[in-house]
Chains A and B, each alone.
Chain A
Amino acid sequence: MLGEQSAPSGAGSAYHSMNPRSADDTALLIRVAEGDPGAVREVLSRYSALVWSLASGLSKDPHEVEDVVQDIFVDVWRSAKRYDPKMASEATFIATIARRRVIDRRRRAGRRVDPEPLEEELAPGENDPGLRQVELDDEAAQAREVVAQLTGDRRRVLELSVVSGLTHREIAADTGIPLGTVKSHIRRGLAEVTERLKARRAALEEGAI
C-alpha cells in the first residue's frame, strides 16, 4: 500500500505545533466556541492536514472526503466550548471528534471497513508516511508508543474497535475471541493510553512547559 507521501495541500506544517499548550493555543478553541472566524481559520490551518489524514481512508473521492472533513470541523466548532486543556491536547480533542464522524460514515455506508491492510509488520514510526503526517504533538507521540507496543489479539481487537469502529460483539463474532476477553483487551489497551497521556500531562504541568 503506501503510495508516495501525499501531504494534503495547503496543510502546511503548522499543525504540529511544538508547544501545543501555550496560552494562545488554549485560547484558540475558546475563540472558536465564541464564534471568532479568525480562530476557525487558524484551527483549519493547524489541523486540516490531520483531519484529512484521518478521514481520507473513507473514500477515493476527494469531494467526499472534504465533505466529511467539513462535518468534522463544524463539530469541532460546536464542541469547542467543551474543550478542557487539562484533559487532552487540541489535536487529541479534534481527533476524537473526527473519529466519531468517520466511524459514523462507515457504519452508515454499511461498509464493514477493514481498515487498510493491517500493518502489523510495520513498526510505527518507521517508514510510514502516514505516520509522519500524523505527527501531532507530544500527546500523540505517547499514544503512538502505546499503540506500537500492542501485539497479537490485543492489537487486533483494538484496531477493530478504535479504527474500524466495530462493536464489541461484532469483534467477538468476527474474531472468535470471547466477548469478555474482547472487552478486557479494549479496557486494558485504552487504560494504558490514558495513563500515558495522564503522566504526560502531569509532567507538563509540573513545569516542563
Chain B
Amino acid sequence: MNGSGASGNGSNGHGVKHTDEPSYRDTLAALAATEGRGLYTSVHLVEREIERYELAVGAAFAAWPRGGADVVPTDGFEERVAETVIGQMTLVGGSRRGGQDLTVLRGSATAGAPTGSVSAEQAVPAPLAGALKLLGALGWFAAAALLAVVLRGGLSVTLEPEPARPLDAQVAALEAGGATVTPWADGGPAGDVVWSDRLNSGFMRIDGLERNDPTVSQYQLWIFRGTDPGTEAHPVDGGVFDVREAGEVIVPIDAKLGVGSAGLFAVTIERPGGVVVSSREQIVAVAFRG
C-alpha cells in the first residue's frame, strides 16, 4: 500500500493488491468511504486509502443504473445554481483562497472612532432578514458589528469605516439562504450562531471566551448534523479561531465540508492549528439549533 501515491507519479506500482486476502486497511478504508467518513474528513492513518475508495464509490454511484429522472429542472436552473456558487465565492472572498485561518473580526460598534451612523428606526424592526439587508450596504466588519447591535436591540450605532469588501452578495445570499440565529447555551459565552444550511455558511458572535495565546491553543468550531454529539464521531470542522481581546468577537464560519442541516455547534479548545478529530475534552460553548 504505501507508495501512497498521493500525487502518485505514477503509472505503476502503487502496489495495491487486489487479491482476495482481506486487508484490514482496505476494509477499514472501504467502510469509511461508503459510510461517509472519507474524502475530506480524515481518519488519519488511512486517509489516502479512504480517498481512493471513496472515489471508487463515487464512480460506482454515478455508474449505477437508475431510472430516467422524471423530475426535470425548471427554466434557468443552471444559471441560478451558478449564481449561488458565485455568490458564495464572493462571500468568502479572499480568506478562503489563501487558505489561511479564519480572520477574527472584532466588533467595534461601541468602541473606536465613529464616523458613520445608522439610526435605529431603520434597523430595529429588523428581524434577521431586514438586518441583513441593511448590512448589505456596509462592509463586512462594520456589518457584523452592526448586526450584533441590531440583534441585541441596540438603539443606535456608530460605525467605523471599513475597507470595502464585496459583501452585498454575501449578505443577500445569507438572507436568501434562510439563515437562522441560535444563541449559545447557558453556561457558555454570550452571543449566537448565524447559519444558513442552504449556503453552508454563516458566522458566530461570541462574547465571553477567554483570550487565547495562539501559540499554545486555539479555539475550534465543530458543526454537528444532529443534536447529540455522543453519537456523532465526525462533526464538520468549522475552522479555528482566536480570541485576542475582551469583548465580542465575530468569526466567520469556515465549514470544511458540506454540513447539510446543522443541529448543533460546539467550540472546543485545541492545539494550535486545530485537530481533525477532537477529543472534546474542553468544550467551551454549545449552541443547539435542533
| A161 proximal to B (CB < 8 A) | yes
> Residue B53 contacts which of A84, A119, A194 (CB distance < 8 angstroms)?
A194
Indicate if the CB atoms of B61 and A95 lie closer than 8 Å.
Answer: yes
Indicate if the CB atoms of A168 and B82 lie closer than 8 Å.
Answer: no
Indicate if the CB atoms of A186 and B31 lie closer than 8 Å.
Answer: yes
Question: A2 to B69, alpha carbons, bound, how many Å?
Answer: 8
Indicate if the CB atoms of B22 and A184 lie closer than 8 Å.
Answer: yes
> Residue B68 contacts which of A78, A95, A130, A142 (CB distance < 8 angstroms)?
A130
Q: How many residues of B contact A (CB 8 A)?
A: 70
> Residue A40 contacts which of B23, B55, B82 (CB distance < 8 angstroms)?
B82
Indicate if the CB atoms of A188 and B61 lie closer than 8 Å.
Answer: no
Question: A106 to B200, alpha carbons, bound, how many Å?
Answer: 18
| A153 proximal to B (CB < 8 A) | no
| B198 proximal to A (CB < 8 A) | yes
Closest to B30 in A: A187
A-chain residues with CB within 8 Å of residue B77 when the two chains form the complex: 8-10, 48, 52, 62, 66, 69
SS class of chain B's interface: helix, strand, loop or mixed?
loop
| A172 proximal to B (CB < 8 A) | no
SS class of chain A's interface: helix, strand, loop or mixed?
helix
Residues A120-142 near B (CB distance < 8 A):
122, 124, 128-131, 133-134, 136, 139-142
Cβ of B13 to closest chain A Cβ, rounded Å: 10
Question: A136 to B97, alpha carbons, bound, how many Å?
Answer: 29
Indicate if the CB atoms of A116 and B66 lie closer than 8 Å.
Answer: yes
Residues A1-31 near B (CB distance < 8 A):
1-6, 8-11
Residues B67-123 near A (CB distance < 8 A):
67-75, 77-78, 80-82, 84-86, 88-89, 97, 99
| A86 proximal to B (CB < 8 A) | yes
| A59 proximal to B (CB < 8 A) | yes
Residues A34-84 near B (CB distance < 8 A):
34-35, 37, 40-41, 44-45, 48, 50, 52-54, 56-57, 59-63, 65-67, 69-79, 81-82, 84
Indicate if the CB atoms of A84 and B71 lie closer than 8 Å.
Answer: no
> Residue B200 contacts which of A50, A67, A71, A103 (CB distance < 8 angstroms)?
A71
Question: A198 to B49, alpha carbons, bound, how many Å?
Answer: 13
Closest to B261 in A: A108
Question: A197 to B10, alpha carbons, bound, how many Å?
Answer: 13
| B233 proximal to A (CB < 8 A) | no
| B246 proximal to A (CB < 8 A) | no
Question: A2 to B255, alpha carbons, bound, how many Å?
Answer: 38
Closest to B5 in A: A86
Indicate if the CB atoms of B85 and A74 lie closer than 8 Å.
Answer: yes
Indicate if the CB atoms of B81 and A73 lie closer than 8 Å.
Answer: yes
Which listed segment binds A: B33-41, B148-156, B273-281? B33-41
Closest to A207 in B: B11
Question: A67 to B73, alpha carbons, bound, how many Å?
Answer: 11
Proximity string of chain A (196-209) to chain B, C-beta cutoff 8 Å, 1 when within and 0 when not: 01100110011000
Question: A62 to B53, alpha carbons, bound, how many Å?
Answer: 31
| B290 proximal to A (CB < 8 A) | no
> Residue B73 contacts which of A9, A98, A198 (CB distance < 8 angstroms)?
A9
Indicate if the CB atoms of A131 and B85 lie closer than 8 Å.
Answer: no
| A162 proximal to B (CB < 8 A) | yes
Indicate if the CB atoms of A129 and B68 lie closer than 8 Å.
Answer: yes
Closest to A72 in B: B258
Question: A122 to B68, alpha carbons, bound, how many Å?
Answer: 13
A-chain residues with CB within 8 Å of residue B11 when the two chains form the complex: 201-202, 205-206
Indicate if the CB atoms of A130 and B65 lie closer than 8 Å.
Answer: yes
> Residue B65 contacts which of A37, A128, A146, A201 (CB distance < 8 angstroms)?
A128
| B160 proximal to A (CB < 8 A) | no
Residues of B whose CB lies within 8 Å of any CB of A are 5-8, 10-12, 14, 16, 18, 20, 22-23, 26-27, 30-31, 33-36, 39-40, 51-75, 77-78, 80-82, 84-86, 88-89, 97, 99, 198-200, 225, 255-258, 260-261
- Which 7 A-B pairs give the minimum distances between C-beta atoms? A96-B58, A56-B69, A95-B62, A143-B59, A129-B68, A143-B63, A144-B63
23 contacts between A and B (CB under 8 A): A6-B69, A8-B72, A8-B73, A37-B82, A44-B78, A52-B69, A53-B66, A57-B66, A57-B69, A61-B71, A79-B39, A81-B99, A84-B7, A119-B66, A140-B59, A140-B63, A143-B59, A143-B62, A162-B60, A162-B64, A163-B64, A194-B18, A197-B55
Give me 7 other A-B pairs in contact (C-beta within 8 A), A3-B67, A130-B66, A186-B34 excluded.
Answer: A37-B82, A56-B69, A70-B198, A88-B59, A128-B66, A162-B60, A205-B11
